[in-house]
Structure 1
């Protein structure tokens, strides 16, 4: 009998974080899954981490000598997947213990959903500092226009929080490997053509901010490449002109915001000029782009201090943070 889930974890030089990721998978309350953990040609201690978890039932460890990139690793595992649903866990993220259990419950309630996702927490400097979306947000569900899978404007997912029916791949095909960052988004557009979407408002994962996810150079390069991939996803979705303009404005303003946070106001203005409308959000960002880099740096520093000092009043978040600390430092 096939498992309900195939869990896919690509890893490239993330030995420092992978151990905790695998511990979070091992802590799942729902056990009807298989896992593919793929070393994408790492040059660090990833093989040693693999050895620590060898022998777990259903865990398949694979090492590639040549780097295939994340999409290539995922495609390899999806070709061999036996689970009814495919789901991903990035090698630098964590799942809370009931992540698979809660997804299984949603799937049982709504078998028409081919694409499901959950909320998640953000971990920065050892603390949970926020969620991907407010649990009261009016997120759409059901049969949706495919373009709603583009960006987080409508569906606030990240791939480590996603699961989809394995059979959808028979029609959509695998991840496109000519895309560098948003191959997942382009695939999800195709899934929404034929399948319903559903979600869980409860945070069930932890997205870890670390040196690579917070480095200004790597972030801006990723976002620039992401804009090119975004345009490819738009071609796949083929939205009506009004939806296209709305999406383009949303993404261009997000890109401008990234450049402002990384103290590059000139680059921010380049993206602001691409926007179709000039609403309050655009005006606020444009005004910010006129500030000198020193002022932007001061504002960024003050915001970081405020975020670091602000205690959480969310009991569930505090409980999740305590669980992460216990996972890091078991008694």
Structure 2
């Protein structure tokens, strides 16, 4: 039997797309799943959306304080997850019907893999296709991660034990908490990307990832890059050059 999956969804109050997101999980071809929904602030609208799933298929948790942020929410979900494989999904994105089936198969075939992502379709608020998000695959994933984050959070499935061993998401890495964790996982194990569009990544004005990046978290990110570089044989000078290039892109894009 294929391995069961916990789908962790952090959620800000009044998440207008949540019901659609949950339906996309319910319609998976791989049906051995649970949803761990973490509300970042009490919200009856979000609880009503959660009630569309059977009670035995969904856990609902609250963050300690409203607006604690996705790092805190995802860590609560990671800790509460019942299964060894944990898929992350943001409350405005969609899973294609075969997402879990494809990624579970890859992780079962490759026990040395610590995480697996996928390509994604870029969709607008109405769900219409507006572009594609394709990235490196195979060994190039690790090298690309030293330059920029080629993993879309809503496409990633991790092994729970490994993610917990490396400390989970670091709340200090605001808007970089996902990038930082993927680097730390890949400093211990391989990562790969399924070259198929398995997620609909929704683009809209209110999405969390549009905010500022520059700050103390960039130093923490560099440290995580250094750990991955050591594992794959990239020199310290090479890491410094790639990180400087990444910082330059953030400055050009006014991400401070």
TM-score scaled by length of structure 1: 0.66
Distance 1:143 1:181 in 2: 20
Alignment-derived partner of residue 208 in structure 1: 202
Distance 1:187 1:138 in 2: 18
Superimposed CA distance per residue, residues 239-274 of structure 1 (whole angstroms, 9 cap, x where no aligned partner): 512232123213422541x34xxxxxxx9xxx9xxx
Q: Do the aligned partners of residues 47 and 143 (structure 1) sit closer, same or farther apart at CA in structure 2, a change above 3 Å counting?
A: closer
Instruction: After the TM superposition, list the runs of 4 or more consecutive aligned residues in structure 1 that deviate by more than 4 angstroms.
Output: 142-145
Match of 1:241, SS state, is helix
Alignment-derived partner of residue 236 in structure 1: 224
Question: Are the equivalent residues in 2 in contact too, given 1:119–1:200 (CA < 8 A)?
Answer: yes
Match of 1:194, SS state, is coil
Distance 2:192 2:99 in 1: 15
Aligned-pair CA distance for 1:40: 1.3
Q: Do the aligned partners of residues 2 and 178 (structure 1) sit closer, same or farther apart at CA in structure 2, a change above 3 Å counting?
A: farther
Q: What is the aligned length?
A: 246
Please list every run of 5 or more consecutive structure 1 residues that lacks an aligned counterpart in the other structure.
260-266, 272-331
Instruction: Spell out the pairing of 1:1-331 with structure 2 (5 A cutoff).
Output: 4-43=4-43, 45-53=45-53, 55-64=54-63, 66-67=65-66, 68-124=68-124, 126=126, 127-133=128-134, 139-141=137-139, 144=142, 148=145, 151-152=148-149, 156-213=150-207, 219=210, 222-225=211-214, 228-238=216-226, 239=229, 240-256=236-252, 258-259=253-254
Aligned-pair CA distance for 1:81: 1.9
* Structure with the greater alpha carbon radius of gyration: 1
Distance 1:189 1:170 in 2: 14
Distance 1:235 1:80 in 2: 28
Match of 1:184, SS state, is helix
Distance 1:103 1:232 in 2: 29
Distance 2:162 2:27 in 1: 29
Q: Do the aligned partners of residues 64 and 148 (structure 1) sit closer, same or farther apart at CA in structure 2, a change above 3 Å counting?
A: closer
Please list every run of 5 or more consecutive structure 2 residues that lacks an aligned counterpart in the other structure.
230-235
Distance 1:71 1:27 in 2: 27
Match of 1:38, SS state, is strand
Aligned-pair CA distance for 1:228: 4.2
Match of 1:245, SS state, is helix
Aligned-pair CA distance for 1:224: 3.4
TM-score scaled by length of structure 2: 0.84
Distance 1:204 1:2 in 2: 18
Considering only aligned residues, what root-mean-square deviation do their CA atoms show, in Å?
A: 2.8
